Amino acid sequence: MHDSAIKRVTSLVDARRALTDIVPAPTETATLPLARADGRVLARDAHASDPAPPEPRTTAAGVAVHASATLDAGERTPVRLRESAGPPDEDEATPVSAGEPLPDGATAVVPNGAVETAGGEISVTTPVAEGQNVADVGSDIEPGDPLVPAGTRLTPALLGTLATAGHGNVACYVEPTVGVVPVGRPERVTATGRTLAGLVARWGGHPEARDPVEPESHAVRPALQRDLTRDVIVTVGGTEAGDESVVPGVVDTLGERLVHGVAMAPGRATTLGVVEETPVVSIPGTVVGSLVAATQLVRPALEQAGGGTLSPIPTTEAQLTGKLASVPGERTFARVTLDDETATPVATGAATRWSTVASADGWVAVPEASEGYDAGESVTVERWEL
């Protein structure tokens, strides 16, 4: 349903551009041990401090030997060497596993497939050359090699690379702080406020979740002013038509409202503004409208405020089992359930029902110029983990 209080709307693309203009890039950094840096955004380019490997390493499980001792080895004429528990002499072989340091004195590794062991004696049936099945110092990473560029969101694999190359700590951007202010009757906005705070944390922000405030100017004004020290303020509720359309008016009084509504359904009653250089994203309090607005605008705001992109939302191609209606001129986010390779529409008009969120597996973003999709058409479903 359109919000009758909104006389003009901004396209979702233009709303995101406006968001880019008002959300500042991060500048504050913190040095963190690698164990605490998972999911954080790297603030400076990371280069290798140490070589990897730092010493010659075996690349195959077998026996470490002097390569020259295996020159005459063959299937019918195996070379017999004594088994050693330490660095091998020229007539010895030391059992090794892949990835461990090469024993002193050894120059190659004979893989297990060319080795037979019996009674403390090792028979080698294939000759090896010097350096065979051995990784030299720095063969993987050399000091000074670029590892991870600034702006990258760190993953366990990247943290492992940094640790291997001599890093114990990294400089990361401080997580953006977000004031989450529910506006409206507690029974209507408490749950959506808590959900939004959880999403903010998942998307790399540090939420400050507030208790609901009355949809009155005298209550909303101090609530916004209290959080002007945050990087971003997100209000939930108080943007819709009627008596509760109070937040946009307060933003107009305290600062400037830049976007008066966004051409998306649900979530049309979303506004963007600035109060004392703090961006304010005001999203509707309806269940699905708040989730759409959060995903489409709060998420990219946190990417910019945090200095790094988030993983793309996973998608699945599916065939519709029923018609998907859309709102002409607006990008419509229609909920669906998935079953193998089919997608079934879910009560597209029930924007206030939590059950339609719990039962859905994601939504189909219907473009503004489309009149919807018919049953049997192939669509892209954006999967959610809400």
Q: Are 124 and 114 in contact (CB under 8 A)?
A: yes
Residue ranges per structural domain of the chain? 12-28+175-306, 30-52+139-173, 57-135, 315-383
**Looking at domain 315-383, what is its CATH homologous superfamily?**
MoeA, C-terminal, domain IV (2.40.340.10)
Q: What pTM value is reported for the model?
A: 0.86
Q: Which two tokens stand for residue 33?
A: 């041990």
Indicate the pairing of strand 256-259 with strand 232-236.
Answer: unpaired
| Whole-number Å distance between alpha carbons of 337 and 369 | 24
Which stretches within the chain are classed as H helix? Answer: 12-22, 156-164, 186-202, 217-226, 247-254, 287-293, 299-306, 354-359
* Cα-based torsion angle of the residue sequence 350, 11, 21, 219 in order, rounded to the nearest 10 degrees: -40
Q: Are 148 and 46 in contact (CB under 8 A)?
A: yes
DSSP states along 48-72: -SS-BSSS-EESSSEEEE-GGGGTT
CATH top class, domain 30-52+139-173: alpha beta
Region 57-135: CATH code: 2.170.190.11
The conformation of residue 27, written as its DSSP 8-state character, comes to -
Q: Which of 316, 314, 361 is nearest to 337 (CA)?
A: 361
Per-residue pLDDT of the chain in tens (386 residues, 90 and over written 9): 344 456 689 999 999 999 999 999 999 999 999 999 999 999 999 999 999 999 999 999 999 999 999 999 999 999 999 999 999 999 999 999 999 999 999 999 999 999 999 888 999 999 999 999 999 999 999 999 999 999 999 999 999 999 999 999 999 999 999 999 999 999 889 999 999 999 999 999 999 999 999 999 999 999 999 999 999 999 999 997 654 589 999 999 999 999 999 999 999 999 999 999 999 999 999 999 999 999 999 999 999 999 999 999 999 999 999 999 888 899 999 999 999 899 999 875 555 567 677 788 999 999 999 989 999 999 999 997 65
* Neighbour-count burial of 77, counting CB atoms closer than 10 A to its CB (0-12 exposed, 13-18 middle, 19+ buried): exposed
Please name the fold of domain 12-28+175-306: Molybdenum Cofactor Biosythetic Enzyme; Chain A (3.40.980)
